[in-house]
Structure 1
Amino acid sequence: MTAYAAVVLAGGAARRMGGRDKPAVPVHGRPMRDRVLAAVADAVPRVLVGSGGSLPADVLVTREEPAGGGPVAATAAGLALLGPDTTVVALLAADLPLLSRPAVGVLLDALAAGSGPGAADGVCLLDDRGRRQPLCGVWRVSPLRAALDRVAARRAEEIERAGCTGQAVPVDGAGPVGTGDGAGPVGTGDRSGTVGTGEGARPVGTGEGAGRVGALAGASMRELLGELNVRELVWSAAGPPPWFDCDTDADVRRAEEWKR
């Protein structure tokens, strides 16, 4: 069995759901966030980026400052809590109520099967429209960190140039998003944030990426994926699709129908 960590992104203002705490919205009586964490119960560690709430004691919680940094910044904050020996991470949105441990296992097996020269840096599912779902995937930690560093360095240069010329900093189509729609309580720290277990968070240091704090704010997942060799996987197993995320109340109702 592949040893792996899990980083769950739980930001997002959920504007299409009335600004509620979307990961806490229940599907058949259980918060979506809890369902995602349960699907990676064997991951060590499990890291939640965003609002925690009542969580298992072993779940680390990190948040970024300032709020609204986006999923790339949130990814960096989550990875900052992984130890140096962690080689594989499941990177997941917190609004995937149909995700299961067998689905995570399929992704892990697909990544392990592609080892060697030219191996993929990560494997993610495609949705029913053929779109990548990078927050339903597993990734090799080393190339993912290197990609984050390259994006941060490039954007830091853009920020510096914009400061000299008075131009706006390019955002590459990204908005202040967390896990899907809207802005969330995530920020920009490349290697910074707060960490705790359950509801009690504590500050952590900034590490080697301290000089680039702020550079990842607004960066898009598309920009990050452009730095990586990604293998796309079509979900063909029976049952509900694990990539299905809930951005609206209608999505929640559909997920509940699938779970019946």
Structure 2
Amino acid sequence: MGGVAKPLLPVGGVPMLRRVLAAVVDASPLVVVGPPELAPALPAGAVLTREDPPGGGPVAAVAAGAAGLAAAGAADRVLVVAADLPFLTREAVTALLAVDADVVMFTDADGRRQHLCAAWRLGALRAALPAQPHGAPMRVLLGHAEVAELPWAGAGPEPWYDCDTPDELRQAEAAQLRADPTSGPHRADAGS
């Protein structure tokens, strides 16, 4: 979108990556899958990795993240969240981690699973990864996993809302302005 890495685009004057990092602030280790442009936005100690080849889709990115966890020292539970979720909150992350299952993911009002707003047991995630993750659909990960579905009961926009297009980014900006009229692209801290 305009030659800028999607996670660095702002909603309410705050880059989406910064919003996601604030929601997962207690995650340790922290592995982010994405282009090198994200490195300056990451906290100290975070591992930045990339799927090989780049652009292999979400399963390839999840596989790269799982490999990055091995290098960083893994935890038992891991969050699998996209970096372009402007409405992901600590409340949502806490709700995911409170459910004891191989994988727990939010579901929307129609019951659709939100694959990139989930928490996994690391062993279950590694067992679910296909040998060739490039181009694989996310549903392939769920074939043998115990999946708990979690309807969103929190306030505000759904935490899994992602911004893949300029129109979705505009919609997120409008939703943010409705939720907080003082936010916006011209906030004083938009670049910090």
Settle same-fold status: TM greater than 0.5.
yes
TM-score by length of 2: 0.82
- 1:103 corresponding residue in structure 2: 92
Deviation at 1:110, TM superposition (A): 1.8
- 2:44 corresponding residue in structure 1: 57
Q: Deviations over 1:199-234 (max 9, x none)?
A: xxxxxxxxxxxxxxxx22111111112232211111
- 1:134 corresponding residue in structure 2: 115
RMSD of equivalent CA atoms: 1.8
Deviation at 1:256, TM superposition (A): 2.4
Q: 1:249 to 1:69 in 2, by over 3 A?
A: closer
Q: Do structure 1's residue 124 and structure 2's residue 41 form an aligned pair?
A: no
> Which segments of 5 or more consecutive residues in structure 1 lack a partner in the other structure?
1-16, 112-119, 153-214
TM-score by length of 1: 0.62
Give the Cα separation in 1 of the matches to 2:157 and 2:14. Answer: 17
Kept in 2, the 8 Å contact 1:32–1:97? The answer is yes
Kept in 1, the 8 Å contact 2:39–2:48? The answer is no
Identity %: 55
Deviation at 1:243, TM superposition (A): 1.3
Q: Do structure 1's residue 86 and structure 2's residue 67 form an aligned pair?
A: no
- 2:175 corresponding residue in structure 1: 258
- 1:39 corresponding residue in structure 2: 23
The count of aligned residue pairs is 172
Structure 1 window deviating more from structure 2 (245-254 vs 95-104): it is 245-254
Give the Cα separation in 2 of the matches to 1:62 and 1:27. Answer: 24
Deviation at 1:257, TM superposition (A): 3.0
Higher Cα radius of gyration: 1
Give the Cα separation in 2 of the matches to 1:31 and 1:53. Answer: 14
> Which segments of 5 or more consecutive residues in structure 2 lack a partner in the other structure?
181-192
Kept in 2, the 8 Å contact 1:48–1:59? The answer is yes
- 2:60 corresponding residue in structure 1: 73
Aligned partner of residue 110 in structure 1, secondary structure = coil
- Partner AA of 2:147 in structure 1: V
Residue of structure 1 aligned with 2:13, choices 3, 13, 29: 29
- 2:128 corresponding residue in structure 1: 147
Over 4 Å off, 4+ runs: none
